[in-house]
Amino acid sequence: MDSRIEIIYEDADIIVCHKHAGIAVQTAGIGSKDMVSELKNYLKSAAGKKEPYLGIVHRLDQPVEGVMVFAKTARAAASLSRQVEKGEGSGMRKIYQAEVVGHMEAPSGELKDYLIKDGKSNTSRVAEQAFVSSGQAKPAVLRYEVKERFEETELLEIQLLTGRHHQIRVQLSHAGCPLAGDTKYASEASALYNRKHNIRTAALKAVRLEFSHPVTGTWMVFSI
């Protein structure tokens, strides 16, 4: 198994992993390692199956490190997917840690935007009102709390309430505080900071994942 994948927990229904930065969740590239192919190889070796089932429930961007859960059965995948859709409350809780360049306007708060994805450039942006009115843009909501404040940066804890493409990176950049090390959504100030400190990886980590076990209903918490 790829050294950038670490299994935290496994039973008959789910497998929880620590994904390290730099490995994709799934890729179409021939010969490229990714979470899905590596985990399927592991399950095939462990159980002797030709093609084991592995359901993708949620994703992390390739540069992002963190906790992920995969389903080992279709039933588990359906249950976990419903929890992802529910989000806050009875759904899955995803907690992130982020270092941003700049300082947020308030020590805690909620960011609410509408995002639109550009498939050609593999980017997302905060949508103009016309896209919101037409229904082409999707709502994106996160909560943040400043944990530490430094001269040029802040350390944030973030609860993701929706799961949009590049959501955290886009919303924080739009709020004037791009992620340290993020080149895709960098501002002039954050790009300068990245070069000065030679930071090449987005400073974002999925540090905690909470959900109800898809079969037993037990509330499970995993953190790194």
Task: Tell me, letter by letter, the H, E, C secondary structure of the chain.
Answer: CCCCEEEEEECCCEEEEEECCCCECCCCCCCCCEHHHHHHHHHHHHHCCCCCCCEECCCCCCCCEEEEEEECCHHHHHHHHHHHHHCCCCCCEEEEEEEEECCCCCCEEEEEEEEEEECCCCEEEECCHHHHHHCCCEEEEEEEEEEEECCCEEEEEEEECCCCCCHHHHHHHHCCCCECCCCCCCCHHHHHHHHHHCCCCCCEEEEEEEEECCCCCCEEEEEC
In this prediction, residue 28 carries a pLDDT of 57
> Residue 1 pLDDT more than 80?
no
> Residue 125 pLDDT more than 90?
yes
Domain ranges of the chain: 5-93+208-223, 95-204
Give the angle subtended at the CA of 93 by the CAs of 207 and 55, to the nearest 5°: 90
pLDDT digits (tens, 9 = 90+) for 27-71: 756 667 899 999 998 998 876 657 899 999 999 988 899 999 999
In this prediction, residue 134 carries a pLDDT of 82
Average pLDDT over residues 68-87: 93
In this prediction, residue 30 carries a pLDDT of 62
The yes-or-no answer to whether 5-93+208-223 and 95-204 have a common fold is yes
More confident residue, 90 or 154: 154
> Residue 152 pLDDT more than 80?
yes
In this prediction, residue 33 carries a pLDDT of 81
Average pLDDT over the chain, rounded to an integer = 91
In this prediction, residue 140 carries a pLDDT of 94
pLDDT digits (tens, 9 = 90+) for 183-213: 999 999 999 999 999 998 899 999 999 999 9
pLDDT digits (tens, 9 = 90+) for 165-183: 999 999 999 999 999 999 9
- Report, as residue numbers or ranges, the catalytic residues: 61
**Domain topology for 95-204:** Pseudouridine synthase (3.30.2350)
> Residue 80 pLDDT more than 80?
yes
**Domain topology for 5-93+208-223:** Pseudouridine synthase (3.30.2350)
In this prediction, residue 51 carries a pLDDT of 82
